[in-house]
Amino acid sequence: MFSCLQVLVHGVSVGHTCTFLPSKDGSKGRIVLVGGANPNGSFSESYIINLETHEWDIPGWDGLQARYEHCGFVAESDSLCVFAGAEQTGNLNCVQILHTSDDITGHGLWKTVQVKGTPPSARTYHTNSACIGDRLFVFSGGDAGATPVTDPQVHIFDSVSATWTQPETRGTPPAPRHGHVIAAVGTVLYIHGGMAGDKFYSDMFSLDTETMKWEKVRAKGDVPPGVAAHASVTFGRNIFIFGGMTSEGATNSMFKFHSDKQQWTLVKFEGDLPPGRLDHSSCLVPWRVRTGNSEEHATQNSEPDVKHLCFVFGGMDTQGVIFNDCLVTIVT
């Protein structure tokens, strides 16, 4: 079932990113929300949910260029990065970085990376799952309105060397699109859905990042309808997608893709589902749970069970209602 995480909520937002940052002191960690927008404009602020206290912190981070519908990722080099997105004056293609090894709730500075190589053209690119190791993979994205960029290339940003490359690929790539999700399972990237103009895509493609070969996934099972502006998390060999916009409006469905079986399953929940939404953001949160409730049990240094949660924040429906709720559901 979906549950509403009770936190002291900040304002409504769409097009933000949310990223889980593990704790270094044994606590439950934090979730960082970066950027986003509402009818008043785009944001240059970041917010932190403390999962130990269920309270918001506003870190003293300066330097972020206001943006929404960007992507965010934490590289293995322990830095939080954002790329692309849009602001009121147009699309962006810069990379900004914040070193998370510093005091996460204290003062910090977003720095614009002086990149080497040729960066992708400015675009919207709303995902937080397209990172393998220290490399961010970029394919397609939004140009203007419902029109995607026409660029068919795969762009790779190496966050260690700050270098963009465009490797040659084999096979037939997906059609240009925006609002798609990109998720990594091991060394394979999966691209699902998205839209171009008034067309919603229901297809799925894989890209083996070792051979750089595209393949169309012939998925079976409960194949989702064409959808865009949805969100995804990956756990193990499975990809979970939630929400998005279809030709029928905003949806609140969740689907699970078994990458080994190449099969979709509609996830069924007990109880009420949250409102359908698009342009929200999600991340995977490991949650430590100790079995038993006695004080004696708690002092035996037993390893806690770890459940994995899909965390969802914000988004909007097709009538323009913007949400500020925090939702969680167990995916293990």
CATH code of the domain containing 294: 2.120.10.80
pTM, two decimal places:
0.93
pLDDT band for position 310 (50/70/90)? Answer: very high
CA atoms within 13 A on the CB side of 233: 26
Lowest-pLDDT range, 78-82, 185-189, 190-194?
78-82
Q: Which amino acid is at 75?
A: A
Q: What is the mean pLDDT of residues 157-170?
A: 97
Question: What integer pLDDT is reported at residue 292 of this predicted model?
Answer: 57
What percentage of the chain exceeds 70 in pLDDT? 91
Per-residue pLDDT at 154 exceeds 80:
yes
Our count of domains for the chain comes to 1
Per-residue pLDDT at 293 exceeds 70:
no
Q: What is the mean pLDDT of residues 169-176?
A: 98
Domain ranges, residue 219: 3-330
Question: What integer pLDDT is reported at residue 272 of this predicted model?
Answer: 86
**Alpha-carbon gap, residue 223 to 310, rounded angstroms:** 20
Residue 61 pairs with which residues in a beta bridge? Answer: 108
Tens digit of pLDDT for each residue in 22-53?
A: 887 778 899 999 999 999 899 999 999 999 88
